[in-house]
Structure 1
Amino acid sequence: MTTEATATDLQEFTENWREWYRAQEARIADPHGFLAITDLHWLDETSRRFPDAPGAWHTGPDGVVVRLDDGEELVVGGTPVRGEHRFGVLAERGGVDAVWGDAVIEVARRGGHDIVRPRHPDAPLRTAFTGTPAYAPDPRWAVTGRYVPFDEPRPTTVGAAVEGLEHVYDAPGRIEFDLLGQRLSLTAFPGPGAGRLMVLFTDATSGVTTYAANRVLTVGPPAADGTVVLDFNRAANLPCAYTDLATCPLPPAENRLPVAIEAGLRIPRERGGS
């Protein structure tokens, strides 16, 4: 490969990473993204009102219910609702976004619990956001690995950013790869989109230059021979890296890597990063 070709490839690699980074930052800064969350309300059978959402909320065997007072209105699925509205039983990691003026009221289920998380565009955490520090992209952190499927998906219980909460994922397999002279592997969970995988991990930079609890890497569908590419330049932060009002999963114990992966997103400024 010529020097000119190498320079062109590096330029393309860097620009592709910048495009990914810009998309990440846009998602983080979205008017109704996780920086806009103003509180995390855990529901039970007692009907309660909250200062950052309309109505009185409770949950039970038949799911989440809100009772709106006269003059209060939510828009659910494009339809205005007044009085009592039943959201029904929510799927784990599922939810509904109800619109209230310029805010969105997230009604969701996390770790077996129903929650309400209002998202207001003028939340101080969002309006103060100035971007996430990141390592400069470097092709040496994009490594080829091999996906090894399990005979059957393995239910895998992991902790959460919220103490006492647990998440359960059906792990379809693991990814084996070599990095920094070591043979490593990561348990993979189903990712966003058909055939894609997600790995939660920590490494020797965690708590030093990257967020201590977790980072996440999305991996494209494996090739027919199991080949995958792990581009750690695209190791992203989960919402809990920015806010205490998130319920993010922690990596399984086997995904705590002993090497320092100096790639991807770093500790957010909201947590003292630079």
Structure 2
Amino acid sequence: MPTSTHTESDSSTAVFAAEWEQWHAAHERRRADPHGFLAVTHLHWLGAEPSRLEGVPGIWSVKDDAVTVVLEAGESLLRAGKELNSGAPNAEGGIAVVFDPIAEREGINLTAGPAVVELAKRGGEYIVRPRHPENPLLNEYRGTPAYAPDARFAVEGTYVQFEEPRPTTVGAAVEGIVHVYEAPGEIRFELDGQDLTLTAFNGHGPGTLSVLFTDATSGKTTYGANRSLTVGAPDADGRVILDFNRAVNLPCAYTDLATCPLPPSENRLEVAIEAGEQIPHERQAGQ
């Protein structure tokens, strides 16, 4: 007996939901990593004046794009498993370690006991963020609520590449810095009868794109500052799928110790995208 259209539709919906559940469970596991952003205990901005940083061994400073940490006797800091507090001490009895310049939005991870110490560059400034697996924000994390998966919000779009990548300056979740991204193109699509466009940045995977956006749900059911969506590489005709069910929160939705970029102004949509992750439980009490 032929399968009815209704049964096929139900089966397709079930598969769509099951694939989303698997994806979101994996995303939650990555977010709850013992040294992920939920484990960050401090955000330190480095300056020319040598300073001790809470939660981090050593005395830190930066000059001419080179970061120096001076480790005193008994202080331990490892890089790739190698102890940095070794060698000949200086006149004051400490050992100075100088790090090569770090590219914007890049960083290195050091180890101090059970903690990971992130040294990174954000908005042209150097930051140090210790990540401790016993941080209460991590240990008390209860998961992120999300809209039920809805295939209506998985829409086809067209990627239009710019003649030249466009430097795009956006704000940040913390005051005083900005981020500059190169936008290689834009994605055009239709939702709820509206023609919409999103400026796209380069993603982390080969050929992938990344979109930062807000919409009419932002600040109501979803986090107000931003959400992020990864888009697969366009096909030969520029076709892409924007599956807003997989729109996720950035770290700033959970902690004030993040430097997340904000969406460019043209990516602030007026349509309500009732899909993807919602306001984290940790933030709901204050909204």
Aligned: 1:99 with 2:111: yes
Contact 1:65 1:88 in 2 (8 A): no
The residue type equivalent to 2:152 in the other structure is R
Match of 1:15 in 2: 18
Q: 1:57 maps to what in 2?
A: 60
Among 58, 63, 76, the residue aligned to 1:73 = 76
- 1:134 — aligned with what? 146
Aligned mate of 2:238, from 226, 237, 255: 226
Counterparts in 2 of 1:167-182, with a 5 A limit? Answer: 167-182=179-194
Q: 2:43 aligns with which of 26, 35, 40?
A: 40
Question: Which residue matches 1:209?
Answer: 221
Which position in structure 1 is the counterpart of 2:280? 268
Count of matched residue pairs: 274
Structure 2 counterpart of 1:78, one-letter code: G
Larger of the two Rg values belongs to structure:
2
User: How far did residue 4 of structure 1 move?
Assistant: 2.2
Find the aligned partners of 2:57 and 2:28 in 1 and give their Cα distance: 30
- Once the two structures are superposed, what CA deviation does each residue of 1:122-166 show, in whole Å capped at 9, x if it has no partner? 111111101001100010000000000000000000000011210
Question: Which residue of the partner structure matches residue 198 of structure 2?
Answer: 186
What TM-score does the superposition give when structure 2 sets the normalisation length? 0.93
In the TM superposition, residue 51 of structure 1 has moved relative to its aligned partner by 2.2
Matched, 1:248 2:251: no
Aligned 8 A contact 1:76 1:97 in 2: yes
Q: Which amino acid aligns with 1:210?
A: T
Dislocated runs of 4+, deviation >3 Å: none
Q: Deviations for 1:8-58, whole angstroms, at most 9, x for unmatched residues? A: 211111111111111221121111111110010000111111220101111
Distance 2:11 2:83 in 1: 53
Instruction: Confirm or deny that 1:164 pairs with 2:164.
Output: no
Give the C-alpha shift of residue 192 in structure 1: 1.0
After the TM superposition, which of the residue ranges 58-67 and 205-214 deviates more from structure 2? 58-67
Give the Cα–Cα distance (whole angstroms) in 2 for the partners of residues 252 and 51 of structure 1.
34
Contact 1:59 1:65 in 2 (8 A): yes
Candidates 3, 8, 18, aligned match of 2:6: 3
Identity of aligned residues (%): 59
Q: 1:153 aligns with which of 165, 187, 192?
A: 165
TM-score by length of structure 1 reads 0.98
RMSD: 1.2
CA distance in 1, matches of 2:250, 2:65: 31
Letter in 2 for 1:254: E
The answer to whether the aligner puts 1:111 opposite 2:123 as a matched pair is yes
Instruction: Supply the distance in 2 between the matched residues of 1:55 and 1:192 (Cα, whole angstroms).
Output: 33
Q: Secondary structure at the match of 1:145?
A: strand
